[in-house]
Structure 1
Amino acid sequence: MSLSITYTLDKPYYYECFDESLPYSSQAKPKYPLLLLLISLGLLAFYMLENHYLGSFMFMLAIVECLSFYYKRPWWVTRQMLSRASGSEVTVSFDDEGVKAENPYKSYQLSWQQINEIIETERGYILKADKGMQYLSKQALNEAMTTVLNKRATQ
């Protein structure tokens, strides 16, 4: 058994990848302990040390952290669009060994043993392994590949 498909890494794919993967990521929630620490250090610097520059700097870092959380989706997609791989064709292959994806700039291969969990989302599949997550869109997959993923997910 060897199945393969090809799709393009474009902006809609990146948006879909981000939206579907975020709930399963560690980045889904703001870093509340960091925000609390920065605000506490800012207040400490303002009132205890009477160092307004340091206090203002800590408050600005807290604001930057809030902005980075709020704008993480467009920032992540922009970084992907600026990468060399943007706009390139990706070939994804399934065989008895596992999943392999290649484009002219990067490739990865996950054996079925390395994949800890296959999560079906509304618009795709997330392959969770020890070294991270990979997202595959249902729009890019053919029916045979979807069947293989569904079968492997229930095992």
Structure 2
Amino acid sequence: MNDKSKFPEVTIYTDGACTGNPGPGGYGAVLLFNGHRREISAAYRRTTNNRMELMAIISALKALKKKCRVNLFTDSQYIADSINKGWALRWKKNSWKRSRTEKAQNIDLWEKLLDLLEKHQVKVQWVRGHAGEAGNEKADALATAAIRTANFLVDETYEKNNSHSDRS
């Protein structure tokens, strides 16, 4: 048995959305495994689009009960590049600095995501948003529907760190 066949293969589509950036936001994730489908979504009263993109992936990976091979599709170039080009790992190695003077954004979520990426074999692929990719369109619909429910959670880290300024 080769290493690839040891772990179940899961396909995940994720998306985040905000009405205003920052503003009310939501995320959606679609997990596909062996003919089964699971959908996850949530909304936050004050957050950013990038935080929702990250939370979508974190929630989807947390939903996996054991180590998996994951094909992850996101329309966030920020997420895809930060993972695939090693930016996020470099930020972590450099005490969460993007440069000598600039601190990385969304550190709390990147820490969680990097930990989860170590638990699975994840291939991150960027897809163009709103281009008819069924999984991405469904994740987007889940994210926007979550916002419309107005059943908001509190993004405590974001709200605590951005009570006076809104950047990330």
Which structure's residues are more often helix, by fraction? 1
Higher RCO (C-alpha under 8 Å, 6+ residues apart): 2
Structure of greater Rg? 1
Q: Normalized against structure 1, the TM-score is what?
A: 0.25
Q: Normalized against structure 2, the TM-score is what?
A: 0.23
